[in-house]
Amino acid sequence: VTAGASPIGIRRGIEQATRSAVE
């Protein structure tokens, strides 16, 4: 996790990746 990345952006990225994996 990069110090400059915002938690919201990270969570959104994880959610999108998980959604793609599930679908």
pLDDT tens digit sequence for 2-16: 666 678 888 888 999
Tokens at 3, concatenated:
């110090």
Instruction: Report pLDDT for 3.
Output: 61
Q: Residue 15 in 3-state DSSP?
A: helix
Given a contact cutoff of 8 angstroms between Cβ atoms, the answer to whether 21 and 12 are in contact is no
Instruction: Report pLDDT for 21.
Output: 85
pTM: 0.42
Q: Residue 19 in 3-state DSSP?
A: helix
Instruction: Report pLDDT for 1.
Output: 56
Instruction: Report pLDDT for 2.
Output: 61
Residue 17 has pLDDT above 60, yes or no: yes
